[in-house]
Amino acid sequence: MPNNPTIAALADDLENGRTSARKIVDACLARIADRSGEGARTFIRVDAEAAIETAEAMDRLRAAKAAPSRFAGIPVSIKDLFDISGQVTRAGSRALEDSAPAETDAVVVARLRRAGFVVIGRTNMTEFAYSGIGINPHFGTPKSVWQRNVGHVPGGSSSGAAVSVADNMAHGALGTDTGGSCRIPAAYNGIVGFKPTQSRVPLDGGVPLSFTLDSFGPLARSVACCAVLDAVLADEPIMPLHPRPIKGMRLAVPTTLVLDELDDEVARAFDRALEQLSRQGAVIERTAVPEFLDVGVMNANGGFSAAESYAWHRYLMANKGDVYDQRVLMRIMRGESLSAADYVDLITARKSLIARSAARMAPYDALVLPTTANTPPRIADLAHDDKAFAKANLLSLRNCTLINMIDGCAISLPCHREGDVPVGLMLAAPGGADRRIFELAAGMEAAIRV
């Protein structure tokens, strides 16, 4: 079995008897337990006993030719934002520790189980999913794969989700994406993260950040891996993924906002990827997308996330506000000053933004842009410097947030060279174009790493 196997490779090995679900789960548990690794910071809870029992059950079902899917027995991690029956959902916070255990699985967790995936544990995250950085003062901060001896942020909010996959502690992860929370940690850890069209995947059983913008999506090692998990989450048939030829792809590089203030490494990796795509026949056009300027205006006072998170948190904060991460609390409290009229204006403005953006993107197969403007900052540089944290957080979230605001779908692919700092390239399209995004991404996945 390769060191970084895809979900398809694992499924083939299981089908052909080259490994067993129990062996795969044992290997992941050993990685989690390795004291020299990031397991203790990556997972808030490890379900070792249940994972082993499930793996053995899947091995018996496969032997009886009754496995629920060819992926049965493959371990996945679950972001701490999701309900798992019998467990407390903390959402990366101490404020929910005394909550009652969930009575049922979140819909997406139940769908993963139904396909035979093994839930190996709950992953760490930014408290209440409110940051693109990934620092958690309560449960520790897992380090990005980049320069472990230095310690760089993992990206948020699905921080542990990304690290669990990058470090072979799981072979896929369930995350959420309100402003980039699947794509940012994927970019910072050299893996793939997908944000689906929101309406395709039900939000039941997940702690909300913004019910207007929240999407539930996968993080994994390849485009095809994410496509499999996405189909399961959306309760759609798992179809073969046919990569689109690069020649003839129609791609638009927005020149509005998304190329501003790029770290040098991001700019170089992105330009190199565009060069490779152009050389192989993609038609790439740089074009202004003035609609993106509306997003900053809409979010100036906190936007949907502040308004909707404040509505959900206001009673909890009254009793437990002192145990919140103060950086998170400050963002949530911005919603207190937003009036009902402000909120209605936001809804109206977003409806117009979605329509105008879809018209702007219609001539192209996808937008192509850097996932984040920055590379993963050092944890030590942000831990106690609120100004540096705010700047880094903005640069991590800026490009991804644009796609949530236009109700789009998007994927982040690694585009850096082996050994270089991780950099993500994002493909995005209007809502409903999920399959197209997967096909385009699968077509260019290898080419942009040259």
Inter-CA distances, 7 with 2, 68, 225, 435, Å = 11, 15, 6, 18
Element (H, E) at 219: strand 215-220
Q: What share of the chain is helix, strand, coil (3-state, %, to 5)?
A: 45, 15, 40
Confirm if 142 and 51 have CB atoms less than 8 A apart: no
Per DSSP bridges, beta strands 424-430 and 366-370 are antiparallel
Confirm if 413 and 425 have CB atoms less than 8 A apart: yes
- Euclidean distance between CA atoms 171 and 157, whole angstroms: 19
- Euclidean distance between CA atoms 143 and 41, whole angstroms: 8
The residues assigned a catalytic role are 79, 157, 181
Q: Mapping DSSP to helix (H, G, I), strand (E, B) and coil, where does residue 46 land? A: strand
- Euclidean distance between CA atoms 382 and 153, whole angstroms: 9
Q: Is 101 exposed, middle or buried (0-12, 13-18, 19+ CB in 10 A)?
A: exposed
For residue 223, give the DSSP letter. H
Q: Give every CB contact of residue 391 below 8 A, 6+ residues apart in sequence.
A: none
Inter-CA distances, 390 with 330, 396, 397, 398, 415, Å = 12, 10, 11, 12, 26
Largest distance between two CA atoms of the chain: 62
